[in-house]
């Protein structure tokens, strides 16, 4: 066959990725079970419209954020991995937008005021910054006209804000869960009502998911290694810029 087989993944990475995906699927199932068993299910043109909100937010702003494309497809061409990364985040954005529309629509039909709670402020901040992050990501990394130097300068910020917004989304979900329990089962929550226990479990799963995914994302030696041709390109660029600026100062 052509060429040697791709190098194996680092020890531990596959196990962590598997645990993260298992946790992700469990937290989606737990969200569905909570809304289905205790909140009447999910529907658009009905009083159940509100329930579309938590479902879409957990799916779009948490689960789909953490498919770990660059860790899983470590040896694929950068171009296709990048396109998949942008596409999945685009899908996550659309799902999150549906969730945001659902809660505003539901508030409108029930004449409930908008944007008064800490949850709604943190949630809206997470959503708007995520939209900005996606637009900037497309502009810097997908537009062929963006220079290599601009991309390299923006990349650390994109990585930091990606992780920070993922953490902020989980925090917003925890606030949303607590708020929803206090709206719906205020009197029985302190007596370990089954709905409260299930929703608390969802909160703990969200925290566990965030920790495992955060660990995978911050392990330097688990980052996608550059392919030979990418390495050659960046060496060319380095030589070029060092030649242009003999002082060699960089930030």
| Contacts with ligand HEM, residue ranges (CB under 6 A) | 53-54, 57-58, 61, 100, 103-104, 107, 114-115, 117, 119-120, 123-124, 126-127, 169, 172-173, 176-177, 179-180
Contacts of residue 82, Cβ cutoff 8 Å, sequence gap at least 6 = 141, 142
- Of 107 and 219, which has the nearer Cβ to ligand HEM? 107
To ligand HEM, the closest distance from the beta carbon of 88 in angstroms equals 16
For residues 210 and 49, give the distance between their C-alpha atoms in angstroms, rounded to a whole number: 27
- Of 64 and 100, which has the nearer Cβ to ligand HEM? 100
- Of 115 and 197, which has the nearer Cβ to ligand HEM? 115
To ligand HEM, the closest distance from the beta carbon of 42 in angstroms equals 12
For residues 17 and 14, give the distance between their C-alpha atoms in angstroms, rounded to a whole number: 5
The structure tokens 């957990």 sit at: 58
Phi first, then psi, for residue 193 (nearest 5°) are -55, 140
- Output DSSP code: residue 146: S
- Of 76 and 179, which has the nearer Cβ to ligand HEM? 179
In the chain, alpha helices (H): 13-38, 52-57, 69-72, 78-109, 118-137, 148-184, 194-218, 228-244
To ligand HEM, the closest distance from the beta carbon of 100 in angstroms equals 6
Q: How big is the chain by its Cα radius of gyration, in Å?
A: 21
The answer to whether residues 94 and 62 touch, using CB atoms and an 8 Å cutoff, is: no
- Of 54 and 137, which has the nearer Cβ to ligand HEM? 54
For residues 134 and 114, give the distance between their C-alpha atoms in angstroms, rounded to a whole number: 25
- Of 69 and 103, which has the nearer Cβ to ligand HEM? 103
For residues 81 and 64, give the distance between their C-alpha atoms in angstroms, rounded to a whole number: 15
């Amino acid at each position: 066959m052509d060429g040697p087989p791709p190098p194996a993944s680092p020890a531990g990475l596959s196990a962590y990725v598997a645990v993260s995906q298992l946790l992700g699927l469990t937290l989606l199932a737990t969200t569905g079970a909570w809304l289905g068993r205790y909140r009447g299910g999910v529907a658009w043109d009905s009083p159940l419209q509100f329930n579309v909100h938590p479902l879409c937010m957990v799916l779009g702003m948490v689960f789909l954020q953490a498919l770990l494309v660059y860790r899983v497809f470590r040896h694929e061409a950068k171009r296709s991995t990048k396109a998949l990364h942008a596409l999945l985040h685009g899908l996550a954005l659309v799902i999150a937008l549906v969730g945001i529309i659902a809660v505003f629509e539901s508030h409108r039909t029930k004449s409930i005021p908008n944007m008064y709670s800490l949850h709604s402020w943190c949630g809206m901040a997470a959503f708007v910054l995520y939209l900005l992050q996606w637009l900037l990501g497309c502009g810097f990394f997908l537009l062929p006209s963006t220079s290599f130097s601009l991309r390299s300068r923006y990349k650390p910020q994109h990585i930091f804000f990606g992780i920070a917004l993922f953490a902020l989304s989980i925090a917003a979900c925890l606030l949303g869960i607590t708020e929803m329990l206090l709206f719906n089962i205020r009197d029985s929550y302190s007596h370990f009502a089954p709905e409260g226990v299930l929703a608390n479990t969802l909160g703990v799963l969200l925290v566990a998911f965030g920790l495992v995914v955060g660990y995978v994302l911050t392990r330097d030696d688990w980052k996608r290694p550059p392919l030979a041709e990418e390495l050659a390109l960046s060496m060319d660029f380095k030589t070029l810029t060092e030649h242009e600026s003999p002082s060699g100062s960089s930030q």
